[in-house]
Amino acid sequence: MPDPASKPEDHHLFRQEVGDAVALAPHNRKEPHRPRIKPLPLQRLKDEKQALHDSLADPWDILDQGETGEELFFSRPGVPAAALRKLKRGGWVISAELDLHGLRSDEARIALAEFLLNCARNDRRCIRIIHGKGLRSKNREPVLKHKLRHWLMQREDVLAFCQARPADGGSGAVVVLLKSAHRNG
């Protein structure tokens, strides 16, 4: 239907231009409602992902502590000094061994946990863990040595540990004294 305000010649020109085109019937439809997409809380998701990573990650960072040149040792409070001296001198018989060479940190941590659990089941008291000297690692840093120290200190079943004697691996290994699984009281 032509607009009443339009001139008759405009209508004639329009019809001439559109030719045989047929006007579409009105559809009487309403455009569907498109709900607004809720904004994504990207920063919160990023923070939660970082929190999960941090909770699973090792809290020790190689940049926090450098190699001091001192040998590795630890003794839990209450463990007699004589027990640590005996461990350093090789006075305990090593009854089990774990070699962590070539493992990534996460693999080494899992292997250590499984090994210590097996040692507890079999009442192994003195064990050796070979961590390597780090000669093939980035910057030739003994990464596993420092992480192993941290992991062992967290475990209640570890009474003491020290760097192995040269004959037992020297600075590339640690000798660990574990609690007895059959100890009374």
pLDDT in tens, 36-52: 888 888 887 777 777 76
The answer to the question of residue 146 being in a domain is yes
Q: How much is the pTM?
A: 0.59
Q: Where are the alpha helices (DSSP H) in 19-140?
A: 42-56, 81-88, 105-121
Count of CB atoms situated within 10 Å of the CB of 72: 20
Sign of the CA dihedral running 154, 158, 160, 165: negative
User: Mean pLDDT for the chain?
Assistant: 79
Residue 55 placed within a domain:
no
In a domain, 38, yes or no: no
In a domain, 157, yes or no: yes
Please enumerate in sequence order all residues whose Cβ is within 8 A of that of 116, keeping only pairs 6 or more positions apart, or say none: 155, 157, 158, 178
Within-domain flag for 1: no
**119 lies in a domain?**
yes
Q: Is residue 183 part of a domain?
A: no
Q: Strand 96-99's sheet: what is its strand order?
A: 73-75, 158-163, 173-178, 126-130, 96-99
Residue 87 CA to residue 71 CA, distance in Å, equals 13
Per the structure, how many domains does the chain have? Answer: 1
Q: Assess if residue 173 is contained within a domain.
A: yes
CATH code for position 101: 3.30.1370.110
Given this model, what pLDDT does residue 160 score? 93
CA gap 15, 102 in Å, rounded:
84
**In which domain, by residue range, is 111 found?**
73-178
pLDDT band at 4 (very low <50, low <70, confident <90, very high): low
Confidence band of 15 (pLDDT split at 50, 70, 90): confident
